[in-house]
């Protein structure tokens, strides 16, 4: 903990990994591509999770649990879906190990081969729609608004902690509706929840909009997304909400009886956010001293660092801060006291690395003067605060820090989002400055592919309120059909 | 929902499955032995989970997440552990599917074989101790008190919803300590949390004690457990807390530097409870009308059934109950309103099946008389309650029901626990009445095995405060070393 991290400007990738390691957010698991989420990182995920979960429940969704294992045959039921996931599936083929007859250790018992291999879920549409077929008969069973918080596996070759790991944690919502309109409304409602939590809770500004056909979910009619700009100006897809139309209902034969006794296929949505969001927090707010956490999700909002030489100092400080801590508890301010053996300087570095929004220092002189020192992690500002105003001050500062982190990220995104008309300018920005390029697109998948091949930039989203009047496609020069955001992405 | 369940007395196993199906707690998954936990069942699990999680956190434990996949070789590092788990492991051998070259569907791509097969965790000691080796250097890193809430897989041949499924959800705590005493204290502290949640939250009386060597966890020095009696008088192991000694530390080479600079192996515990507890709730409290839920874990503590013929009735009732519902919200009483199209009788049956502790009926006449009808699920008692006292009354009744369910279960257990001295009596009880037998045991594993072979009863736990003065072993007649509980178990 004593040494710092690689500077962002020097090597962004190493900076990112350094922060994760030194703030003890995560570690590599023993199987390649897997991740251990350490307690501090997990606590962050628990905060994010509960922000979403509360909103899902408030809008009528309920949680459930569907099995990890999916019969291999299910994956091939929806044509696009299989193409999207079959190539990166962990496959369970046997159910027993045995002592190695030819030497040490264990081998797979060949007699334990499964009749049909099972796949570890990469996502659960197929198993869920197999169940919905049993559960849905009539319009009275609709809408069905189910979510689950689970682990999923996609066998990735190039992995990166939080952003792309073989196994990750996520929520996946799967809803069934009587009409196309209701499904569309649901997909948009969830998108708005995603935007709200990203911006108002995690302090990450996002663009919301539609994915192009090339970028949408395998099996969806329409994919909505939230897209954020990371500290290296790359885009991160932070959440997706899919209108699946009747694709899965048809693949699994899920119909319902309408009020007027017709038999109709059900309409569906699915939507998810994952532990990738922890990566987004790090990359949006982190600096060369480490993490900077938005107060709303910080495991500790205030860290108390007592500065004491003698046992008597310690006792005086403990007495002095006791009423403050009681007030914190009452106001539900999450705090942590660091009475450990390390030096104050070491502790300052450690808690800065861990991104705690406020540091409260208190030494014998502060006790005498009936005050404490408050230090903001976002700005470094240090102020002496009289004891009797401390709780109000902390509450206000936590709001300010939350807001400031959002405003800083928004400013950074604005500074690195250019509207362009020519492809030369487009290329020059993507190659030199990086960041987001806002421009017209003719809606042709070929154009999109050409641009990707030439620049590695992809369409992150089609802007919902894009203005195309008089605009042309940045590549083809044809009339623009959409206004879009291009960027290189994680 | 209109039809009832098989009577408990007629076929206990079918009664159990009927309740789960009709109360919509769970369903079978498509892969044999897997389970879907439906929203109502999952909500129950969420209540149980948060009761434990709050207590773990209050005693200094933190949550984390370790990977699903474990290298095959890890499993063989601890000798007893491998024997305990290798025979029921799901093994991932490949990471890709491909279109079947000889026909329809998908087949495993033979070129995607893994270099080393990975096992889906049956429990996480091995992967966690591999990480602890990296994280633990000095006494300052101890104790390490980590828990995780995850899915685990044990390939079971005979499965039963909630009680024994190929995949289940659980928490597993894994702690590391500097001394043997601390580890022992931890194992006992957790046992007490398990007892408290079982008895005070789930209203399930439990015996606590040690497992015998034959019944303990594969790799533990000592296994503590909570054991409950189900409605068919069989025992259910409801939670276990293991003192692992230095077994895993030695297997994974985890040492720490003591305060006086010696190198020592770390001491460990692990402990877990699972979705099996939902099965315990059903089997402890359920009756021939379905579930009966302890108020502390009931998803809905009160269900409101309006009895109305006309729209005007409905409107009057809505107006009438609005202030009541506001009071419920304020007092955090969890309620559900059933305004659905079904008849009142249908609704009564449905919510009785789902075990909601209190039903609040209100019709036009009640509105006139400024009262509601309250019906207890545990006793069936129905009382008219004046509107202005309703909230207090509901709060009191919820406490009474919680207590009554516990007392009923305790009485049932007492009635079906016999202290015996002779093996004839022992056999006769196990064969005829069933239930728990309390008796002396000589501590010999051979005696234990003989009894199991002759009666199928096993030692559920060694009583911690057992009185053996002058007692003899129920089988061998030798002096008793322990007082134990024998029973047939799930």
Q: Enumerate the residues of chain A whose CB falls inside 8 A of the CB of residue B69.
A: 29, 31, 34, 90, 153, 166-167
Q: What pLDDT was estimated at residue B1?
A: 44
Question: Could you say which of B65, B91, B134 has the minimum Cβ distance to residue A97?
Answer: B91
Output the average pLDDT for chain A.
Answer: 96
With b for 16 or more beta-carbon neighbours within 10 A and e for fewer, the A241-264 pattern comes to: bbbbbbbbbebbebbbeeeeeeee
pLDDT digits (tens, 9 = 90+) for A261-316: 999 999 999 999 999 999 999 999 999 999 999 999 999 999 999 999 899 999 99
Mutation target to probe the A interface, by most A beta carbons within 10 A, among B62, B77, B106 is B106
Q: What pLDDT was estimated at residue B75?
A: 87
A66/B105 touch (CB, cutoff 8 Å), yes or no: no
| DSSP 8-state symbol, B287 | B
Q: Give the span between the Cα atoms of B419 and B439, in whole angstroms.
A: 6
Q: Enumerate the residues of chain B whose CB falls inside 8 A of the CB of residue A37.
A: 64-65
Cα dihedral A289, A290, A292, A298 sign: negative
Q: What pLDDT was estimated at residue A481?
A: 96
Q: Give the span between the Cα atoms of A281 and A420, in whole angstroms.
A: 29
State the distance between the two ends of chain B, measured CA to CA, in whole angstroms: 28
Residues 6+ apart with CB under 8 A from A254: A129, A132, A133, A136, A176, A248, A265, A266
Q: What pLDDT was estimated at residue B83?
A: 78
B75/A64 touch (CB, cutoff 8 Å), yes or no: no
For chain B, what percent of residues have pLDDT higher than 70?
Answer: 99
Mean pLDDT, residues A358-384: 97
Q: What pLDDT was estimated at residue A2?
A: 45
Question: Could you say which of B29, B30, B131 has the minimum Cβ distance to residue A27?
Answer: B131
| Minimum Cα–Cα distance from B65: chain A residue | A37
pLDDT-based confidence at A10, cuts 50/70/90? very high
Q: What pLDDT was estimated at residue B202?
A: 98
What dihedral do alpha carbons A23, B246, B171, A53 form, nearest 10°? 0
Angle of helix B390-415 relative to helix B276-285, nearest 10 degrees?
A: 90
pLDDT-based confidence at A4, cuts 50/70/90? confident
Q: Enumerate the residues of chain A whose CB falls inside 8 A of the CB of residue B94.
A: 90-91, 93
Longest dimension (CA), chain A: 82
A127/B30 touch (CB, cutoff 8 Å), yes or no: yes
B87/A96 touch (CB, cutoff 8 Å), yes or no: yes
Q: What pLDDT was estimated at residue A329?
A: 97
Question: Could you say which of A39, A94, A150 has the minimum Cβ distance to residue B64?
Answer: A39
A62: pLDDT strictly greater than 70: yes
pLDDT digits (tens, 9 = 90+) for B117-164: 999 999 999 999 999 999 999 999 999 999 999 999 999 888 999 999
The three-state secondary structure class of B168 is strand
State the count of interchain CB pairs (< 8 A) between A and B.
199
A96/B86 touch (CB, cutoff 8 Å), yes or no: yes
Q: Enumerate the residues of chain B whose CB falls inside 8 A of the CB of residue A27.
A: 131, 134
Mean pLDDT, residues A398-416: 98
Domains of chain B, start order:
12-67+125-285 (3.30.930.10), 302-404 (3.40.50.800), 417-487 (3.30.110.30)
Question: Could you say which of A63, A71, A108 has the minimum Cβ distance to residue B46?
Answer: A63
A67/B30 touch (CB, cutoff 8 Å), yes or no: yes
Mean pLDDT, residues A465-477: 91
A68/B130 touch (CB, cutoff 8 Å), yes or no: no
| Minimum Cα–Cα distance from A66: chain B residue | B36
Cite the DSSP H helix spans in B204-335. 247-252, 276-285, 311-330
Q: Enumerate the β-bridge partners of residue B483.
A: B440
Q: What pLDDT was estimated at residue B445?
A: 97
Question: Could you say which of A86, A92, A119 has the minimum Cβ distance to residue B91?
Answer: A92
Residue pair B267/B249 in contact by the 8 Å Cβ criterion:
yes
Q: Enumerate the residues of chain A whose CB falls inside 8 A of the CB of residue B166.
A: 69
Q: What pLDDT was estimated at residue A79?
A: 73
Strand locations in B290-404, DSSP E? 302-306, 335-337, 358-362, 371-376, 382-386
With b for 16 or more beta-carbon neighbours within 10 A and e for fewer, the A387-401 pattern comes to: beebbeebbebbeeb
Residue pair A195/A206 in contact by the 8 Å Cβ criterion:
yes
Q: What pLDDT was estimated at residue A1?
A: 44
A247: pLDDT strictly greater than 50: yes
pLDDT-based confidence at A417, cuts 50/70/90? very high
What dihedral do alpha carbons B99, B102, B108, B112 form, nearest 10°? -80
Give pLDDT < 50 ranges for chain B: 1-2
pLDDT digits (tens, 9 = 90+) for B412-437: 999 999 999 999 999 999 999 999 99
């Amino acid at each position: 903990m004593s040494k710092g991290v690689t500077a962002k400007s020097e090597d962004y990738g190493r900076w990112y990994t350094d922060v994760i390691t030194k703030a003890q957010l995560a570690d590599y698991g023993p199987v390649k591509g897997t991740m251990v989420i350490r307690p501090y990182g997990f606590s962050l995920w628990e905060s994010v999770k509960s922000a979403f979960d509360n909103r899902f429940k408030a809008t009528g969704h309920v949680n459930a649990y569907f099995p990890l294992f999916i019969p291999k045959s299910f994956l091939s039921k929806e044509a696009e879906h299989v193409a999207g996931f079959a190539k990166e599936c962990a496959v369970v083929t046997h159910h027993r190990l045995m002592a190695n007859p030819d030497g040490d250790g264990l081998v797979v018992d060949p007699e334990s081969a499964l009749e049909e291999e099972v796949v570890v879920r990469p996502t659960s549409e197929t198993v869920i729609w197999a169940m919905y077929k049993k559960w849905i008969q009539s319009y009275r069973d609709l809408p069905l608004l189910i979510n689950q918080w689970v682990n999923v596996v996609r066998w990735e070759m190039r992995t990166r902690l939080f952003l792309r790991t073989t196994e990750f944690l996520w929520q996946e919502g799967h809803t069934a509706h009587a009409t196309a309109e209701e499904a569309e409304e649901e997909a948009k409602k969830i998108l708005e929840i995603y935007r709200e939590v990203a911006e108002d809770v995690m302090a990450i500004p996002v663009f919301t909009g539609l994915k192009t056909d090339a970028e949408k979910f395998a099996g969806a009619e329409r994919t909505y997304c939230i897209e954020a700009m990371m500290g290296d100006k790359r885009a991160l897809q932070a959440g997706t909400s899919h209108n699946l139309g009747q694709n899965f209902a048809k693949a699994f034969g899920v119909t319902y009886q309408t009020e007027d006794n017709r038999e109709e296929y059900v309409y569906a949505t699915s939507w998810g956010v994952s532990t990738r969001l922890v990566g987004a927090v790090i990359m949006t707010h982190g600096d060369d001293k480490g993490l900077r956490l938005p107060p709303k999700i910080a495991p500790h909002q205030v860290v108390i660092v007592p500065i004491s030489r003698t046992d008597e100092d310690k006792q005086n400080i403990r007495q002095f801060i006791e009423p403050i801590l009681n007030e914190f508890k009452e106001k539900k301010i999450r705090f942590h006291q660091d009475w450990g053996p390390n030096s104050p300087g070491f502790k300052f570095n450690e808690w800065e690395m861990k991104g705690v929004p406020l540091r409260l220092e208190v030494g014998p002189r502060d006790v005498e003067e009936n005050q404490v020192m408050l230090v903001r992690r976002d700005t470094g500002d240090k102020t002496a605060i009289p004891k009797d105003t401390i709780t109000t001050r902390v509450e206000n500062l936590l709001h300010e820090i939350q807001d400031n982190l959002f405003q800083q990220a928004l400013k950074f995104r604005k500074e690195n989002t250019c509207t362009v008309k020519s492809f030369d300018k487009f290329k020059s920005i993507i190659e030199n400055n990086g960041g987001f390029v806002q421009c017209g697109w003719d809606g042709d998948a070929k154009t999109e592919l050409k641009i990707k091949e030439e620049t590695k930039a992809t369409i992150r989203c089609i802007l919902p309120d894009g203005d195309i009047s008089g605009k042309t496609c940045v590549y083809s020069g044809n009339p623009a059909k959409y206004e879009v955001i291009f960027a290189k992405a994680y």
